[in-house]
Structure 1
Amino acid sequence: MILITGATGTIGREVLQRLPSDRPVRIMARQPERVTGASPAARIVHGDFTDPASLTDALHNVHTAFLVTNPDGGDDTRFLGPARAAGVRHIVKLSAAAVTDPAATDLITRRQRHNEDLLRASGIRWTLLRPRAFMSNTLSWARSIRSGQVVRAPYGSSANACVDPGDVAEVAALALTGRGRDHACGAYTLTGPQALSAAEQTAQLAVLLGLPLRFEELSPQQARTALEARYPTNIASALLESARRQHSGSKAGVDATLPGLLGRPARTFRDWAVDHLDAFRPNSPARG
């Protein structure tokens, strides 16, 4: 039995679409009614990392689990203890590429490192997925593109080797099913094929949409105000620290791991954008 957590999130819902239909799958969600795209054979159950009893039920007879935990919350001990007690043999964990950078000391990255350490010390076989920023993060621009044909972000010229979430999900599915190789004790840095800045992404979207989009750079204080409208202050500070580090060039490196695992090139930002253009069109329903 494979257990999927985070099934309503960016990667989890993509993983569901890539698991073989002949594998028994259980999906744990705090709000089961929000799970979409699951196989009709998959069983959806309620579960919460803060509710040990729900974890015990969700983990019954599970041998492999996909672990997605919110880095602004508690540590993974809440999941790892019940998983070990249930006899889970392998955990594929979604982490972040920043954990490999000694200069990355923001709160979110420190918590990711700590959770990786907990998993490695748990006695359970592990695989670590360390993606760079998701291309889908640009969906946060959709509303301002639809309403004013503008993208606003800090450090517009700094580049990031962002990755298609679908590619990350495909690697996750390989690791969960053991296809291709034994992925235990693998730590995979996953990037896209090219480092792009926010201004360059805006230019690509403008061409694809046929719209005269413009990029407006936010000052650090303007960026903080925007982030604090969406996140707690400590998380907003961590995201700003990460953005400053990107401005130094620390996120521009392209890694060959993902194409090596998938046997094909990583998808480009243009590939991803073509599939999601409707989200940015002026006549699209409000979202993002």
Structure 2
Amino acid sequence: MILVTGATGTVGKEVLRGLPAGSEVRIMVRNPAHDRGAFAMAETVTAETVTGDYADERSLRRVLRGVTKALLVTNDVGAGHDARFLRAARAAGVRHVVKLSAAAVADTGADDPITRWQRASERLLRASGLDWTLLRPRSFMSNTLSWAPSVRSEGVVRALYGTSANACVDPRDVAQVAVRALTEDGHAGAIHTLTGPEAISAVEQTQQLADLLGRRLRFEELTPEQARDGLRGRYPEHVVEGVLGSARRQLAGAKTGVEQTVLEVTGRPARSFREWARAHRAAFAAV
């Protein structure tokens, strides 16, 4: 039995779509009424949905009963979710946890609150006594969906440090590697750093979107102060500072390295931003 957490998220929903025929999967949700119908998977996959909450260790033990492998996705910085999940996993007899982390963990120059939390979470897993696999993706290409409203209505992309490059990755590729780790042998103790095929800047992404849409798009660079103000409307302060710190590291060239992990694990090259954008063209198209 495979447990998938974060099943309505960017990677989790793609993991469900990619599980091979014959898989037995349990999906952890906090609100079954809200999440019902949010999942898509092959008809040959046997799935059940179970209510669980990272803040409630008793519910986690119930969710994990009978599970052999689990995909662990957490995002609440400092909430202790990883620690509770791993205690429950040990008590339930889970053998292998595949954790979604981030490439910044390996960057010695990254010392923001989000990266420190991710490092601590990885240490908990590696010391848990369970088999583990770490997935460390670079930024998701899907982050550019935040541009969609201004692209549709104004033909404008607004972002910080527009010429700085990032070897961003298609979440579908991250999910495919996760599926391999959950369904194949040979991934215990592995750290999979996941990138796209090239480092690309926001200015270049804007041009590729313009080519795809067949319309002119304009790029407007935000100042750090403008970026901070916009982020404060959506995130708590520690997340805001983490995002801005990450952008500064990108400006310094810390995110340009390209890995071949997607090809090595799946046998298929990582998708380009152009391929990702083509699949999501409708999100950016003018109404």
- TM-score, normalised via structure 2 length: 0.96
Contact kept? 1:159, 1:198, Cα under 8 Å: yes
Superposed displacement of residue 72, structure 1: 2.3
Contact kept? 2:158, 2:222, Cα under 8 Å: yes
Contact kept? 1:163, 1:191, Cα under 8 Å: yes
Matched residues in 2 for 1:239 and 1:95: separation? 15
Percent identity between matched residues is 60
Matched residues in 2 for 1:72 and 1:209: separation? 37
Tell me the equivalent position of 1:12. Answer: 12
Contact kept? 1:158, 1:198, Cα under 8 Å: yes
Q: Deviations over 1:129-169 (max 9, x none)?
A: 00000000000000111111101010000000000000000
Tell me the equivalent position of 1:84. Answer: 90
Matched residues in 1 for 2:4 and 2:39: separation? 13
Q: Secondary structure at the match of 1:127?
A: strand
1:280 aligns with 2:246: no
Matched residues in 2 for 1:229 and 1:151: separation? 18
1:69 maps to which of 66, 74, 91: 74
Amino acid at match of 2:150: S
1:246 aligns with 2:259: no
Q: Map 1:195-210; keep pairs closer than 5 Å.
A: 195-210=199-214
Tell me the equivalent position of 2:272. Answer: 268
2:135 maps to which of 129, 141, 153: 129
1:48 maps to which of 42, 50, 53: 53
Contact kept? 2:19, 2:41, Cα under 8 Å: no
Contact kept? 2:4, 2:28, Cα under 8 Å: yes
1:57 maps to which of 57, 62, 70: 62
Matched residues in 2 for 1:256 and 1:172: separation? 15
Superposed displacement of residue 263, structure 1: 1.1
Q: Deviations over 1:86-111 (max 9, x none)?
A: 00000000000000010000111110
- TM-score, normalised via structure 1 length: 0.95
1:117 maps to which of 112, 115, 123: 123
Q: Secondary structure at the match of 1:42?
A: strand
Contact kept? 2:207, 2:217, Cα under 8 Å: yes
Contact kept? 1:52, 1:82, Cα under 8 Å: yes
Matched residues in 2 for 1:31 and 1:189: separation? 32
Contact kept? 1:71, 1:108, Cα under 8 Å: no
Matched residues in 1 for 2:142 and 2:259: separation? 19
Q: Deviations over 1:186-209 (max 9, x none)?
A: 001000001000111011000000
Matched residues in 1 for 2:20 and 2:266: separation? 16
1:159 maps to which of 158, 165, 183: 165
1:28 aligns with 2:28: yes
Superposed displacement of residue 53, structure 1: 2.0
Contact kept? 1:71, 1:112, Cα under 8 Å: no
Tell me the equivalent position of 1:3. Answer: 3
Matched residues in 1 for 2:85 and 2:271: separation? 32
Contact kept? 2:2, 2:25, Cα under 8 Å: yes
2:186 maps to which of 169, 175, 182: 182
Aligned residues: 281
Matched residues in 2 for 1:242 and 1:140: separation? 17
Contact kept? 1:92, 1:172, Cα under 8 Å: yes
The 4+ residue runs of structure 1 with deviation greater than 3 A are none
Amino acid at match of 1:26: R
Amino acid at match of 1:55: L
Superposed displacement of residue 71, structure 1: 4.7
1:95 aligns with 2:101: yes
Contact kept? 1:120, 1:126, Cα under 8 Å: yes
